[in-house]
């Protein structure tokens, strides 16, 4: 008899849906540890704007892959994937339950689908040329180039996500191969249960707005100013992200604080709408209504029904 394959539980869902609270309850119920699957929680000093779990929450349950690098350090998807797999193995060796939690769909897909990520070093000169082209000709011009050389990647990447479009073009320039062909998938040797938390859109938007208001009261603008004064420029990926870039017009004297806060709420609504496209593709995904009070009981029923081994297949 083969021993059951290790189980990985992933908790996904749009921003502000309630992932953190549920993950803490679940980790305590299952003797688990949490692996953050969030591209922004890796940055030190970016706490309020990223809705990072509080020190008390991190003390309640051990978290991995939070506060890994400074805001001006590069942290690639390949680096993250390797670190996450190592964290999962470490948790399993301690006979605890790994629980992946986060809203960065690309990172979660890379883990659960077992992406083979091209190890192509950044070509900063090439990136600068593409960035200048995007500025002068618009982001659609870059996306059309990608459509010509790699239609599969172009279909998967939003034209407005200039950074990802440039990375795909860069990989083709450096290797001569489309990034979609290099990103082959070999599912990891786990049983996977993906819990996708959902709420009605109007309720989710209200929670987002409330959370932004709390962030501002807790000192979000002061956090942004402190990062800028430490020398972290607006052009950095960390500073150009949601929760920080919206305050650049305030820093430059072009908009009021109220206008920037309203823009942050609007941008977060839009981000939440887009997140679902990634989550719907994840393996063994089950939708859960985050409003229900019996989520732990639902989890136990799902676990009891799971087979001891995942289906074996490789996607090329």
Quote the pLDDT of residue 269. Answer: 97
Q: What is d(CA 257, CA 250) in angstroms, rounded to the nearest whole number? A: 6
Quote the pLDDT of residue 1. Answer: 55
**In terms of domains, do 91 and 50 share one?**
yes
Average confidence (pLDDT) over 9-30: 96
Q: Identify the top-confidence range among 139-148, 167-176, 209-218.
A: 209-218
Residue 143 lies in a domain: yes
Average confidence (pLDDT) over 235-262: 96
Q: Which region among 63-67, 112-116, 217-221 has the lowest average model confidence (pLDDT)?
A: 112-116
Quote the pLDDT of residue 242. Answer: 96
pLDDT in tens, 249-299: 999 999 999 999 999 999 999 999 999 888 999 999 999 999 999 999 998
Residue 66 lies in a domain: yes
**In terms of domains, do 293 and 196 share one?**
yes
**In terms of domains, do 33 and 146 share one?**
no
Q: Are 62 and 50 in contact (CB under 8 A)?
A: no
Confidence of residue 313 (pLDDT cuts 50, 70, 90): very low
CATH number of the domain to which 266 belongs: 3.40.50.300
Residue 237 lies in a domain: yes
**In terms of domains, do 296 and 159 share one?**
no
What's the domain range around 208? 7-116+185-304
Residue 310 in this model has a pLDDT that exceeds 60: yes
Quote the pLDDT of residue 180. Answer: 84
Residue 85 lies in a domain: yes
Q: CA of 105: how far to CAs of 13, 77, 201, 274, 292, in Å?
A: 9, 12, 19, 10, 24
Quote the pLDDT of residue 181. Answer: 81
Average confidence (pLDDT) over 174-189: 85
Residue 67 lies in a domain: yes
**In terms of domains, do 167 and 213 share one?**
no
Q: How many domains does the chain have?
A: 2
Final residue in a domain of this structure, among 135, 156, 182 = 182
pTM confidence score: 0.85
**In terms of domains, do 54 and 88 share one?**
yes
Final residue in a domain of this structure, among 182, 203, 230 = 182
Final residue in a domain of this structure, among 165, 182, 199 = 182
Quote the pLDDT of residue 2. Answer: 64
Residue 2 lies in a domain: no
**In terms of domains, do 92 and 233 share one?**
yes
Q: Which helix (H) or strand (E) holds 163?
A: helix 162-175
**In terms of domains, do 190 and 176 share one?**
no
Q: What is d(CA 113, CA 92) in angstroms, rounded to the nearest whole number? A: 19
**In terms of domains, do 145 and 244 share one?**
no
Of 5, 13, 4, 25, nearest in space to 299 by CA = 25
Confidence of residue 311 (pLDDT cuts 50, 70, 90): low
Average confidence (pLDDT) over 164-192: 89
**In terms of domains, do 96 and 235 share one?**
yes
Quote the pLDDT of residue 316. Answer: 36
Confidence of residue 315 (pLDDT cuts 50, 70, 90): very low
**In terms of domains, do 98 and 199 share one?**
yes
């Amino acid at each position: 008899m083969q021993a059951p394959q290790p189980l990985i539980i992933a908790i996904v869902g749009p921003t502000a849906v309630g992932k953190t609270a549920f993950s803490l309850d679940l980790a305590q119920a299952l003797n688990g540890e949490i692996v953050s699957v969030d591209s922004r929680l890796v940055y030190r000093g970016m706490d309020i704007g990223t809705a990072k779990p509080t020190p008390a929450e991190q003390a309640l349950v051990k978290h991995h892959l939070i506060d890994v690098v400074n805001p001006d350090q590069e942290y690639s998807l390949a680096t993250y994937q390797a670190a996450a797999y190592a964290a999962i193995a470490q948790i399993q060796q301690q006979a605890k339950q790994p629980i992946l939690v986060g809203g960065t769909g690309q990172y979660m897909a890379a883990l659960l689908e077992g992406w083979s990520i091209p190890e192509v070093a950044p070509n900063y000169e090439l990136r600068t040329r593409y960035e200048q082209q995007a500025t002068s000709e618009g982001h659609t011009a870059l996306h059309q180039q990608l459509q010509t050389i790699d239609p599969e990647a172009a279909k998967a990447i939003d034209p407005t996500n200039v950074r990802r479009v440039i990375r795909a073009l860069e990989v083709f320039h450096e290797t001569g191969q489309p990034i979609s062909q290099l990103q082959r998938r070999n599912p990891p040797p786990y049983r996977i249960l993906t819990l996708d938390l959902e709420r009605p859109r109007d309720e989710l938007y209200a929670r987002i707005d409330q959370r932004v208001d709390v962030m501002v009261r807790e000192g979000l603008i002061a956090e942004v100013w402190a990062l800028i004064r430490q020398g972290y420029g607006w052009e950095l990926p960390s500073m150009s992200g949601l929760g920080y870039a919206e305050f650049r017009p305030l820093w430059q004297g072009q908009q009021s604080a109220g206008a920037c806060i309203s823009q942050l709420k609007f941008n977060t609504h839009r981000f939440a709408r887009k997140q679902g496209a990634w989550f719907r593709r994840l393996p063994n995904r089950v939708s859960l209504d985050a409003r229900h009070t019996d989520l732990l009981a639902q989890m136990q029923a799902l676990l009891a029904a799971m087979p001891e081994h995942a289906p074996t297949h490789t996607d090329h």
